[in-house]
Amino acid sequence: MIELIPAIDLIGGQCVRLTQGDYAAKTVYSTDPAQIARQLERQGFRRLHVVDLDGAKSKHIVNAATLKAITSATSLVVDFGGGIKTDADIETAFDNGAAMVTIGSVAVTSPDLFTRWLQKYSPDRIILGADVRNGKVSINGWKEDSGEDLLPFLSRYVEQGVRHVLCTDISRDGMLSGPAAELYSQVMAAYPTLHLIASGGVGSNADIIDLNRRGIPAVVFGKAYYEGKIDIEQLRQLWD
């Protein structure tokens, strides 16, 4: 069954969501992300995806204290991304309780550094972030398009041992219009052993059920959860 991973995105220590990565299109859902994390744990979730949007924009981790508050308040397996650019950043993430980290921009701009981290921390703790706009990988908080095509980008790192990939279709993020299911199916057809995490566009239980039917290993969702578009009890019945 598909792994269900709710998301908490952070700006100024608050739980927010953007629309298509637009920092000007921000909705604040809670001023206490740790309380949201506790609620998610009570509902039966085991994983949590935390994104430091301030960090992604500033190119260094900003919300380390909020990450620590979340990991101290729950036993959730937290993967953390946003602003991890240096050895100090990745150590900060792990020191503040992250079990895994999502690395996107560095994999594009500093492939040797990414490969070193993959070897040092192991492929079980490093998630390759592949945020896509019009088929090209975007970096630095989705502000820049790298020119890298998705599948060759993935191929390079799968050959180096990457096992976990978080792929976000930026055009769908926060739109509740459905995920890029065909894109994820193409990725899985090319790399069937990947633990692919689909992200962006989930707007209903039906979207999650369709991804599961397609054999997508995991899905991240945020806005749909916060706006009551997902029926957690129905999903629990399907998965239990």
Map residue 224 onto helix, strand or coil: helix
Q: Which pLDDT belongs to residue 240?
A: 66
Q: Report the DSSP pairing between strands 218-221 and 3-11.
A: parallel
Element housing 153 (H / E): helix 150-158
Share in percent of the chain as helix, strand, coil (round to 5): 40, 30, 30
Of the pLDDT bands very low, low, confident and very high (cuts 50, 70, 90), residue 182 is very high
Catalytic residue ranges: 9, 131
**Percentage, residues of the chain above pLDDT 90:** 82
What is the three-state SS of 112-136?
A: HHHHHHHHHHCCCCEEEEEEEECCE
Q: How far apart are CA 10 and CA 98, in angstroms?
A: 15
> Partners of 127 in the beta sheet?
102, 164
Residue 73 and residue 148: Cα distance in Å, rounded? 39
Residue 143: is its pLDDT beyond 70?
no
Which amino acid makes up residue 38?
A: R
Whether pLDDT at 138 is above 70 = yes
Q: Using DSSP, how many helices (H) and how many strands (E) does the chain show?
A: 11, 12
**141 compared with 38, residue with greater pLDDT:** 38
β 14-19/47-52 pair status: unpaired
Q: Which amino acid type is present at position 12? A: G
Q: What is the structure's pLDDT at 236? A: 79
pLDDT category at 118 given cuts 50, 70, 90 is very high
Residue 172 per-residue DSSP state: G
Q: Kind of pairing, strands 126-133 and 164-169?
A: parallel
Strand partners, 149: 136
The pTM score is 0.95
